[in-house]
Amino acid sequence: MRQPRILLVSVVLCLGILQCDIGHRSPYNFTSPSYLRTTSGVMPVDEVWSGEILLTGDILIPFGVTLAIEPGTVVRFTARSDDQHWDGEFDPADRSTYGAVMISMLVYGTVIAQGTADAPILMISTAVSPDTMDWGGFEIFESGAVSLEQVVFKNSYQGFYFHSRSS
């Protein structure tokens, strides 16, 4: 008689745990472009970003590809961590580690970020206590074009860096 009760109690507990888990849902819907999306690497085709975007590593926009960022979008750069570069540790005393751990947007194509006064676009760090060394910024190469309006950059190391050929 004791074993069936233990089995019954175990089943009830398991169902209760499953019910709790089923009832708990993430506030983010990963299939909807209006919620959090995680990305890094090469962007192979034109994209439109909206909602919340999490960059976990450098993002490269190649020549011929356009990234459009809609008003109100929040682009979060993972602080001092770049999954496209290096797994080492950041050392503030060693300037050679800076670029390897700071995410940058490498623009060979086109970025159009048109925020509004009521819905600016935010480019920010994920750090709890943000610092100017949290993410790199935009690196714009000769073929790259960037059009920004009502975009707020916070906690980037360089904001913009323009690459050009020397004569």
pLDDT 10s digits, 25-46: 333 333 333 446 667 788 999 9
The yes-or-no verdict on residue 153 having pLDDT over 60 is yes
Helix, coil or strand: residue 166? coil
d(Cα 82, Cα 102) in Å, to the nearest integer? 6
pLDDT of residue 22: 37
The residues, ordered by sequence, that sit 6+ positions from 41 with a Cβ below 8 Å of its Cβ are: 57, 58, 59, 60, 84
Q: What angle do CA 48, 116, 139 make, to 5 degrees?
A: 55
pLDDT of residue 101: 61
The reported pTM is 0.68
pLDDT of residue 103: 77
List the one residue out of 143, 158, 165 whose CA is nearest residue 62. Answer: 143
